[in-house]
Chain A
Amino acid sequence: MDGLFHAIAAVSTWQVLAAAAGGVLWGILGGALPGISPSIAMALLLPFTYDMSPVMAVVMLGSVYIGAEYGGSIPAILIRTPGTNAAAATVIDGYVMHQNGRGGEALGLSLTGGTIGGLFGLILLATLTKPLSSLALMFTPPAYFALGMLGLSIIASVSEGSLLKGLIAGILGLMLATVGTDPLSGVTRFTFGEPELLEGVHFILIMLGVFAVAELMTKIAEKETDEGVRPESVSRLVLPSLGKLWSLRRAQAIGCAVGALEGPVPGAGGTVASFLSYNEARRWSKTPEEFGKGSEEGVIAPETANNVVTATALVPTLSFGIPGSNSTAILLGGFLIHGLQPGPLLFSTNPDVVYGLFGGLFVANLMMFLFGIVILGPAIWLVNRPRPYLNAVILALVFSGIYSINHSLFDLAVVLGAGVVGYAMRVLRFPTLPLILGLVLGYMIESNYRRSLLLTRGDHMVFFENGVSAFLMICAIIVLVLAAVTEIRRFRRAADA
């Protein structure tokens, strides 16, 4: 009850409300700008929090995180450019819905799913912080490796009918992930003497190249005109009815469950959660054949999951002072700036800040819904501008966003190179999502695989001795076996035909 009192006390002050509103608005804008990740959007605001009260500061930073994770879905649906990493899964069906003239519906599903997910995650954060934090403690290197393998197994279901091509694309992604400094020994790999490659290839560069630049190249190659998207369909935002939401309950439940389990795991984050929930939603769907062709479940499941993560990712940060992602690391910085040390003692020493944060994030989720409705109108209007102007703005946005990350011309060259690769993959009908999955998960898989073997002197049974790891590995094997069986059946059917 004390917690509730602190939360209500916090949100009844105009300063905290203003911080939540400003944070969400800034977050949506930042998330919608390709290249400005949630962590960058948060980092840009960090200096402004010095003079704020601790509650106001952490609420503002947390609200940016919430807004940014939602904002990333807007360009993902409208221009096939995920504004954030976690929005990459939304591209698959969101953009197809937009192409099919249902962009307004996709945006409505994303907004509603995101709000529901955010509120659900917040309830979990407020009520189950301690039990969930024990789950994070169970994640040893073998479990992280198994989690990465489970993530990779998704390749099987996003391979668009060609498992072989999907696996090749996944391996190309894993190969890209090996560029840079080796996580264990520190020796450099595949850097060709280029210092800008020492930290590896950042996946935002590859994602923007493969998605945004390749999309632009395809449009220009096909001389696509404004008829490419039916204008009448994207003229307004369409919020889903209660009946529609009820019919999508399974996908939302999966998004909530995956986000709840993934969020507290350091390093997993919204990207893995959104891809996993997409995959599970497809597996449990009554119409799995619709996935990839504009499925509503394919939009709402990942969007729900990545917004659940915005709350559940705070569990290890608040409970142990261990940030699991760049965004939560910046939130941790917000605490430290004000002399607060997140950890088990925080709940007893500064309950006003912790529960004030919970209250502020609750308000932020509601504001996200309101601002989402307001912002989507102009966003839809923007994408209805003449295609040549839109193409120009997209490329300028991508270049400006990428340059602003490291102020590096080399990064721009990488984006252009990734664009060529992405275009070639499209022409040859290679799925691009496995490439991204391999790149995102490569570091986690390799470093934890090698750490596990180092700890056990090369005993591979370690991956099946640990309970969490064994469960995840078995899940990954089942997913791969099922996919292989489906692929063989498909091949036989094709041969018979």
Chain B
Amino acid sequence: MRAMLVASGLLIVLAAAYWLGADAIPKSSLGGLVGADGLPKLLAVALGLLSAGLALQTLVEMRKRRRTGAASATGTAASSEVGDVAGHLRALGVIAIGVGFLVALPVLGYALSVALLLVAVATYSGKAFGLGTVVFGVAGAAFFYVLFVLGLDVPLPAGIWPSLLSGGSAPV
């Protein structure tokens, strides 16, 4: 419940920021009667009102629960509603791995980055690191390379390897 209140507050802040962004949109005579800022401003107002409504609804429910003496149940519901913090941090680990892939891709190239991504996610998901995961990473990277680079002819980054091998500067 408390998490929902916080979310409602954040949504109201977002609505206000979005309104300010809409207000800063340059005016153009080509924009017609409504203008480029018309819909964004309408959406900002709607989001603000609905978020306030959500906050109100949450407060009413909290009050009702307290009045019916379900305070302990509320605590349980609240904790189950947002889950455990450790779980959320584990989930964010996936994003951290993704960011690592983003950083590695232009440097290490597609094949090696995908191999590392496969090993990292498999290990992070609970598979013990060992020869099996390494073989999985290498075989998976080979499969993806054949599919996307050779099969679909998608130009994926080669990384620093071509320049290292030729002795030149690293390509982006």
Contact = CB atoms under 8 A, between A and B. Distances in A.
A427 interface: yes
A420 B95 contact: yes
Contacts of B155: 407
Nearest to A458: B33
B121 A416 contact: no
B32 interface: yes
A164 B95 contact: no
Contacts of B54: 164-165, 168
A451 B33 CA distance: 9
B36 A185 contact: yes
A450 B38 contact: yes
A399 interface: yes
A32 to B, nearest CB: 12
Given A164-B50, A404-B156, A419-B95, A429 B81 contact: yes
Contacts of A189: 21-22, 25, 36-37, 40
B47 interface: yes
Interface residues of A, number: 64
Nearest to A491: B57
Given A171-B50, A178-B39, A403-B156, A412 B102 contact: yes
Contact of B30 (A171, A184, A221, A222): A184
Contacts of A165: 54
B91 A423 contact: yes
A213 B94 CA distance: 8
Interface string B68-89: 0000000000000111000110
B83 to A, nearest CB: 6
Nearest to A163: B50
Interface stretch (A268-276, A317-325, A384-392, A471-479): A384-392
Given A164-B53, A399-B117, A409 B105 contact: yes
A449 interface: yes
Given A175-B47, A189-B21, A453-B32, 5 more contacts: A182-B36, A184-B32, A189-B40, A220-B125, A399-B114
20 contacts: A167-B46, A167-B50, A168-B51, A185-B32, A187-B28, A187-B31, A216-B94, A223-B90, A386-B127, A388-B126, A395-B94, A404-B148, A404-B156, A409-B105, A415-B98, A419-B95, A427-B81, A427-B82, A428-B81, A450-B32
